[in-house]
Structure 1
Amino acid sequence: MTTLHIVRQSAFTTNDFYQCLQLLGNNDCVVFTDDGCYNLQHHLIDTIHSDNSKNIQLMALSSHAKARAITISPELCTEIEMSALVSLTFNNDRVITWQ
């Protein structure tokens, strides 16, 4: 059962992203929105890239990252639009919003 994790808060201010990492399962997807885009610059992001045995997909909403002057590195995660996020909500078994 795959889960879409929508992370809306920064790990610089809350522990939501850390809690999300504890629940990641095989083939889950993490999408950073709102201030969650700041997590692309947080050291916790390295825990996913250092051991991606669970095949976690990382994505960030393009417009939200740009509004926060965050450049999305294609090696780090995939840049998506809102329409792709809507599709992901239908293509995953569960959706958890971390806010």
Structure 2
Amino acid sequence: MATLHLIRESALKNNFTHYLSLVNKEDGIIFLDDGCYNLSTPWLLTLNNTNITVISEHMQARGLSIPDHINQISAQQLPAQLFNYENNITWS
């Protein structure tokens, strides 16, 4: 049962260590809002997941560049992503 994890907050503000055990290899992760800052945090490397996506407009609004190995979608494409998974969890 795959889950989509929507990460809206920066790990610099919150300790997301307890969430890491909830992420499975087949899950999707989307960084949006201030969650985009997490692309530069060390805890991201501990995720055993390659299905990581960012909202491109949210990255641009924060002056952040999107690494080559990260997928990107527009904010308009986000609702469709919700239907690709059985569950979703918002991290805040």
Work out whether the TM-score is over 0.5: yes
| Structure 2 SS opposite 1:45 | helix
**Aligned 8 A contact 1:10 1:35 in 2:** yes
1:20 aligns with 2:13: no
Between the two proteins, what is the percent identity of the paired residues?
38
How far does residue 84 in structure 1 lie from its aligned partner after superposition? 2.4
Write the letter of the residue equivalent to 1:68: R
Deviations 1:45-72 (A, max 9, x none): 1112xxx4xx541001001111111101
Matched residue, 1:78 = 71
**Unmatched runs of 5 consecutive residues or more in structure 1:** none
TM superposition outliers: structure 1 runs of 4+ over 3 Å: none
Q: TM-score, normalised by structure 1?
A: 0.84
So what's the TM-score if we normalise by structure 2? 0.90
Amino acid at match of 1:10: S
Give ranges in structure 2 of 5+ residues lacking alignment: none
Instruction: Point out the structure with the larger helix share.
Output: 1
Report the CA distance between 1:22 and its aligned residue: 1.8
